[in-house]
Chain A
Amino acid sequence: MTTDLRISNVSKIYPGCIANDNVSLQFKSGKIYALLGENGAGKSTLVKILSGVVSPDNGEVFLNEKNLKLSSPLDAKKNKIGMVFQHFNLFETLSVFENLSIDATEDNESLRVRVNEILKKYNFSIDLDVPVLNLSAGQKQKVEIIRCLLRSPKVLIMDEPTSVLTEQETEELFISLKKFCDEGILIIYITHKLKEVLSLCDEVAVMRKGKVVSVSQTQNERVETLANKMVGQKLAKIKKKINISKNKDEIFKVKHLNFYSDDPFETNLVNLNFSVKRGECLGIAGISGNGQNELFQILSGEIITPDTSIIFRNKEIAKLNPKQRREYLMAFSPEDRISQAAVPELKIYENVALNNFKSSNFFEKGLVNEKKIKEHSKKILSDFSVNTDNVELKSQFLSGGNLQKLILGRELITAPELLICYNPTWGLDVGAINYIHETLIKINNQEKSTILISTDTEELLKLSDRIAVIYKGKLSKIMPSEEVTPEKLGVLMGGGSID
């Protein structure tokens, strides 16, 4: 039996923003559909409408020519529309089984039997009786998928499912999705990652500013054509001119960096030694969870390790805290924008003031100099083309890309000699990624240095002058990036060796 889902003239208007503007789309089972668009293009709103979380102002949704009235998530459930949200909709303190049983209609024994059947069929291995908070992101996603499968869905919607997954987990997910598709489930895959669209999906609809701008077969598309449709303008190709020169002085030098932790969730670091030259970008590649978190925290001074020597601009800074390191003109952009780099509940200018550097005069005699901070924030917003000029806006209302621009702007306005960033373009759309990359290259061209810790190999190859790979807390030898290929990186990131 085939499933046919039709969205007809759906509109949703929020105050000050048209999230969906007369969207019409048609889906048939047996194919995987991509819904592609930048952050804020209206994908998530459309998905929320399909799952009954929000109701559209106008328009209708038809499933097999039956007009669905989706006024609550229950309606979506009843009509066999399953949904895996980007931010997981799980109960962290409940066990996996409790999470699954909460809306089940059968008794626990038969539910357990069915869950085990699904686990076996799709080769998932998850302990049903541990609390969800102990699971990895990939496992949590599987729990969400199982929850949908238990209701034998006709439609399965995945909202940016790979943003929290490792490459291995992504591969596993794709295999499962293809299986579901073969079994007749209609799959709608929401993403802004172009490569995923091409490798997984059969058809792609591109959304921009609330409208559907194109529907096409993926076999007729390439990364560039999709990117241009998504952004709506031709993206300038950026390529770094490699400016490595042998006789530049070493501005930053790390020796004997060791880190040992009892926490099983942390990775030990074993004798890392590296240095960064003036105007250079040192890339550190690796699959997440191989010690990048710990390395970033040690370099930024959040963790102080004994017996480590960090020389920055000819001074020993290994014992200094992040604030002191900033005063020596280091700057940091952590991975998690919401919880580590910014306080989402604070206004933009308040977040700017948090990075209170010595020459800022943000505070006078213990009082906040609001006027100065606001002026300064305005300058960041315009210099770094954040799409608002309202410094009173709470940071949580900025999209990921704009928040990242704000953070980079905040860090760079002090003109640091070294910027250390960790996954700076994580979860961003193509336009924002391009902007961030241009900014990072600009820094190097101004003879300032960067350390780029990233899980995105493409980004590393594009920006780095030299690259090393971190695997299980150990650093590979550092290679000039012209000698590095994606294949080589892949081998090293997987724990293999080259030569």
Chain B
Amino acid sequence: MRSLLFRTTALLIALGGLAACSADTSKQTVSAPAAKTAAVQKDAVYAPRQLVMRRLSGEQYQNVIHDVFGPTIELGGRFEPDLRVGGLLAVGSGDVSITAAGIEQYDTMSRRIAGQVVDEKRRDMMLRCKPANAAAPDDVCAGQVMARVGRILYRRPLSQTELQAYVTAANVGAVKTKSFYAGLQLSLAAMLSSPKFLFRTEMSEPDPDHAGGWRLDAYSKASQLSFFLWNSGPDQILLDAADSGKLNTRKGVAEQVERMIASQRLEEGVRAFFIDNFGFDQFETLTKDTTLFPKFSAQAAADAQEQTLKTIVDLLLKNKGDYRDIFTTKKTFITQELGAIYRIPVVDTLPNGAPDTWQPYEFAATDPRGGILTQVAFTALHSPPGRGSPTLRGKALREVLLCQKVPAPPAAVKFDIVQDTNNPLYKTARDRLAAHANNPVCAGCHKIIDPIGLALENFDGAGAYRTTEQGAKIDTSGMLDGVNFTNAAELGKVVHDNPATTSCLVNRLSAYAIGRPVQEAAWLDDLKQRFSASNYQLPALMREIAMSDNFFAVVQSETKAAATEAAPQREAR
């Protein structure tokens, strides 16, 4: 009975967010009605989505460049800030554009990259052809280069018109500069800042498996698979599978999904998801007061993110572990920089003493550390510059890991009486928050965020362990959704066992995969069951999402609604 009640509560929270955490339950909305798909619906799970045009992330841009031109190419620019929607930058990428300041950056990067490609030392290897005359235009060589590079950058073959535009551009440039290579550089740079490269535009076609329904075309499928699993554009094999029509068969998709999941490159895709979901982009602007936290160097901040990612990759990919164990695992990796914060001596065993050498480390069973919540990346990221913050940490746990929305604090609240850090009556954060939470306006929300945040009070603003604050012993006991714990390690176990933990991952990963929050409860439920059946193996969940019909199912775009009357097939490029 208790477990049923508990589950119901968790479900309600998952559906309605925590809008009701003060007292007002009247405004809760339960999930949006399913789209009108009855005519084409094959089963309860079918859930086509809108087409979405996504801007490449900085990482994706870099990965594609390295795929085409090799890892030694330097970008030397800065990307526009991304936008977080529904907890994910991957979803926000479907809403952003490119500003004037942004295009300046893309333009500078493009010319720099193209300059490296046509550099005298590399050009023969990179271009694989030579002009008849290096001081004049050359249609053949320019055409070969632009067609080959264009296929990777545009993630599909160029149309004749497109190819001709780039050959003309290279020729015009060659004439003006009296150099074939300078002309090619400029043409290549123009392609690198083209919207067809910078935005992933999806194309659709009628779906024979769902009469009247639509699906992504084969090249859009290739892109969606590849950005989801590898965080980069499709490779030649995947594009070949699109060319040959194999991606329009379930068998063909399965072959590619298996190949991609078996590849080393899956790690890049897994990392990209967790970097996005955990909000590691916020490290860019994270600062710590170096007089209070002298060990929290820039290197330590970088290592902290890497530590969490390494922990996850090692557990979920290398050891095929259970996703829930990321909250309890005692195994991690450590560097000398991190060792200073964790107070663990890290002996560098390499003769040249490289400071960032990673070493595996396992905390003792009795150690208060264990799981990613107790790692520096979590505790330091969700803290202001000069101290820790149970409220920020508790809010992050709810929002990032349990997918529950914590509302903003109400206006016109006075904090000073209860939050005077010099007040001898309220020495610890728990004392101060308890006094604060006596205010009924604040109490509702603080009740759901503070107890879990307070469990992490043994870790200061930079993530170092402590047992007292201002001489008073820190009490880390609390309760999460009805389950008690006494310290951070136990909190990890409670999060491990909370059903919201795995359903949140399913919600986020599916939204990440298709670039839109998934509203269809039936599809999510189906994925959750399959995730559970796999013993919560992350690659298994990725496979389920990639192999689901919904991964490619779309609704007809408004442009096509007008165009398809005459031409029901995929539009010509």
Q: Are A and B bound to each other?
A: no
Binding site for A on B (CB under 8 A): none
Binding site for B on A (CB under 8 A): none
